[in-house]
């Protein structure tokens, strides 16, 4: 579709307005405690369990995720401690809990293609799928499972920031996405605002001191040309997004996985789709997590 003159140049320079925000939102307190634990040489399952259990909603999400059929645990997951020690592992729960705690204070309108329901549905599925795809990479350059999960979960963090601080402009983005459904979202954002949600998300995540792998994934998860530090993380996220697009989720341009991504990551399309089927089909635990995130 041809872009008309009303989108020939940025209508609003959102970058300048973002830079003028007097005070960045503080990292949520619970997320701060989790990230501090990451640097604690004495960190263990007991300490992480104690922090997660401060938040009943987060506790339920961790336990639900551990009950996912994908992990194949046949015992009863009746506590965060069990979820960490017997199913998910310390690193995955650390990053799962941190990602959930980070996003929760930001609010969007509930419905619509860029609403809170759509955001969390895509985020939860993308996180689980990105983590799963990392597990089928060759061992010599396999991405960290916990960081892969967090990269998938926080890839669209910029949309939360934009929708939370700039509601009127966010409404304009929704309007133009409806008007130009075949255009990449980043193209529309650049023409409207002079910045896209990947840049906005990376900006705040970096300010908060998140791992560079997650910052890079947020910044470049729409950029097939990116070749640089931690490139495996946006690459895994892109594969997840193309797969999820086949199910009508997310803002990938289509459901076709570029061959070059598969070559870089070291697995074939058949393996990727098989992993996606294992993660996504009949997974009530993920659907429950999504509901808990929205309410």
- For the chain, which domains are there? 8-25+108-282 (1.10.3210.10), 27-105 (no CATH)
- Pull the structure tokens for residue 185: 């979202």
pLDDT on residue 118: 92
pLDDT on residue 244: 96
pLDDT (tens, 9 = 90+) of the chain, 295 residues, equals 444 545 545 666 676 777 666 555 667 788 888 888 888 889 999 999 999 998 888 898 899 889 888 888 888 999 999 999 999 999 899 988 888 888 877 778 777 888 889 999 999 999 999 999 999 999 999 999 989 999 999 999 999 888 888 888 889 999 999 898 889 999 999 988 888 999 999 988 888 888 899 999 999 999 999 999 999 999 999 999 999 999 999 999 999 999 999 999 999 999 999 999 999 886 788 888 888 788 7
pLDDT on residue 21: 64
pLDDT on residue 290: 85
pLDDT on residue 2: 45
pLDDT on residue 9: 55
pLDDT on residue 269: 97
Spell out the SS3 assignment of the chain. Answer: CCCCHHHCCCCCCHHHHHHCCCCCCCCCHHHHHHHHHHCCCCCCHHHHHHHHCCCHHHHHHHHHHHCCHHHCCCCCCCCHHHHHHHHHCHHHHHHHHHHHHHHCCCCCCCCCCCCHHHHHHHHHHHHHHHHHHHHCCCHHHCCCHHHHHHHHHHCCHHHHHHHHHCHHHHHHHHHHHHHCCCCCHHHHHHHHHCCCHHHHHHHHHHHCCCCHHHHHHHHHCCCCCCCCCCCHHHHHHHHHHHHHHCCCCCCCCCCCCCHHHHHHHCCCHHHHHHHHHHHHCCCHHHHHHHHHHHC
pLDDT on residue 50: 93
pLDDT on residue 1: 40
Contact between residue 126 and residue 237 where contact means Cβ atoms under 8 Å apart: yes
CA 246, 251, 253, 256 dihedral sign is negative
pLDDT on residue 167: 86
CA distance 258 to 256: 6
The predicted model scores a pTM of 0.88
pLDDT on residue 30: 86
């Amino acid at each position: 579709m041809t872009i008309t003159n009303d989108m020939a140049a940025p209508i609003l320079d959102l970058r300048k307005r973002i830079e003028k925000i007097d005070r960045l939102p503080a990292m949520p307190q619970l997320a701060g405690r989790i990230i501090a634990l990451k640097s604690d040489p004495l960190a263990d399952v007991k300490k992480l369990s104690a922090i997660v259990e401060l938040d009943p909603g987060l506790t339920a999400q961790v336990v639900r995720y551990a009950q996912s059929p994908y992990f194949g645990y046949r015992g009863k997951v009746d506590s965060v401690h069990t979820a960490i020690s017997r199913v998910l592992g310390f690193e995955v729960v650390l990053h799962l809990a941190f990602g959930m705690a980070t996003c929760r204070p930001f609010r969007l309108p509930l419905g619509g293609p860029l609403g809170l329901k759509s955001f969390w549905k895509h985020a939860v599925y993308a996180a689980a799928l990105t983590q799963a795809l990392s597990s089928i990479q060759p061992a010599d350059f396999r991405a960290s499972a916990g960081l892969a999960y967090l990269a998938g979960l926080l890839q669209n963090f910029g949309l939360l920031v934009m929708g939370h601080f700039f509601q009127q402009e966010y409404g304009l983005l929704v309007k133009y996405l409806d008007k130009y459904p075949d255009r990449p979202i980043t193209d529309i954002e650049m023409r409207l605002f002079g910045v896209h949600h990947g840049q906005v998300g990376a900006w705040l995540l970096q300010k908060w001191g998140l791992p560079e792998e997650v910052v890079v994934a947020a910044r470049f998860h729409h950029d097939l040309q990116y070749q640089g530090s931690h490139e495996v993380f946006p690459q895994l996220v892109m594969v997840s997004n193309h797969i999820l697009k086949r199910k009508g989720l997310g803002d990938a341009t289509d459901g076709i996985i570029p061959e070059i991504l598969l070559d870089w990551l070291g697995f074939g399309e058949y393996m990727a789709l098989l992993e996606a089927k294992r993660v996504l089909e009949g997974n009530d635990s993920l659907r429950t997590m999504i509901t808990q995130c929205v309410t």
